[in-house]
């Protein structure tokens, strides 16, 4: 009979996933010792962790290292404790536990209860902070991570005159969009943007100016969840769950940190400029721009 973790891997049971690659999965413990308590598993079902072949054991710990960095960046703590118990579920797993005191690692402590909405928030926050590997950020048939990153940084610098070192929202968006591309009939990098709010309000003319399109260009509004629906599906448009999780983290950040987030499409095909904007603190507009190809 498959273990409960194997059923999560197979998609038979839900989980608050925070990171995934071809051979490993990380998700929040539903009976945590502390908020952010994360489990890291190999997708292959092996009862005892030290029965894994040396190369697979090393790969599991390397994956856990990346996840631990994400947990520590997302959850306030002094250290990430690491534990392997191996008695509760017959499927090898590593516990990553945010800790401020040694006692936080005591498995005899009562488990805490975290609401579903908060679990989703924590999972998304960790996902956004897990360092990406070069391979994970390379979409099939698209730009590689280095190329997409260089294009994003170049265009963002040119398109966002208000970008400064103290623009925390833009810095976060740069991290969340790094290496991500929007896939339609072609692919285009997501370019983080930050603008001062237009003096006359966000009219169609002001939007056209921000997008760099001719005045009078038709502006169509769309809901963010609908616009990203294919990219936030379980395996995304590229069959890469890790990239799908990154799009989910970006979507959650935009909705939680910005007010009135809206997708704006300009004109009709074959190349449709797109701006995704919401209001940040101080009245700034922030989000990302990309291009949708429709022929």
Active site residues: 93
Q: Which residue has the tokens 């285009």?
A: 188
DSSP string over 147-168: HHHHHHHHHHHHH-TT--TT-H
Q: What 3-state class would DSSP assign to 126? A: helix
In angstroms, the CA 221 to CA 229 distance is 15
In angstroms, the CA 194 to CA 173 distance is 9
In angstroms, the CA 223 to CA 225 distance is 6
What is the DSSP-derived secondary structure letter of residue 187? E
What is the DSSP-derived secondary structure letter of residue 110? P
Extended beta strands in 34-156, E state: 38-42, 79-83, 94-99
Q: What 3-state class would DSSP assign to 49? A: helix
């Amino acid at each position: 009979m498959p273990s409960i973790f194997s059923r999560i891997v197979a998609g038979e049971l839900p989980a608050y996933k925070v990171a995934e690659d071809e051979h490993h999965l990380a998700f929040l413990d539903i009976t945590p010792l502390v908020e952010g308590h994360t489990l890291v598993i190999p997708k292959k079902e092996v009862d005892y962790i030290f029965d894994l072949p040396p190369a697979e054991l090393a790969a599991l710990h390397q994956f856990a290292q990346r996840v631990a960095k994400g947990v520590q960046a997302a959850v306030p703590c002094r250290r990430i404790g690491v534990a392997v118990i191996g008695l509760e579920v017959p499927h090898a797993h590593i516990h990553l536990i945010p800790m401020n005191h040694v006692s936080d690692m005591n498995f005899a402590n009562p488990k805490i209860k975290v609401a579903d909405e908060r679990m989703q928030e924590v999972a998304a926050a960790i996902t956004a902070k897990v360092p990406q590997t070069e391979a994970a950020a390379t979409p099939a048939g698209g730009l590689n991570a280095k190329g997409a990153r260089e294009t994003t940084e170049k265009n963002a610098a040119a398109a966002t005159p208000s970008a400064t070192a103290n623009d925390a929202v833009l810095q976060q968006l740069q991290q969340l969009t790094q290496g991500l591309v929007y896939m339609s009939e072609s692919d285009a990098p997501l370019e983080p943007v930050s603008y001062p709010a237009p003096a006359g309000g966000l009219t169609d003319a002001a939007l056209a100016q921000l997008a760099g399109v001719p005045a009078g260009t038709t502006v169509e509004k769309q809901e963010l969840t609908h616009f990203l629906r294919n990219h936030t599906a379980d395996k995304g448009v590229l069959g890469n769950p890790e990239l799908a999780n990154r799009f989910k983290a970006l979507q959650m950040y935009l909705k939680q940190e910005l007010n009135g987030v809206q997708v704006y499409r300009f004109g009709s095909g074959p190349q449709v400029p797109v701006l995704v904007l919401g209001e940040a603190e101080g009245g700034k507009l922030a989000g990302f721009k990309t291009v949708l190809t429709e022929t």
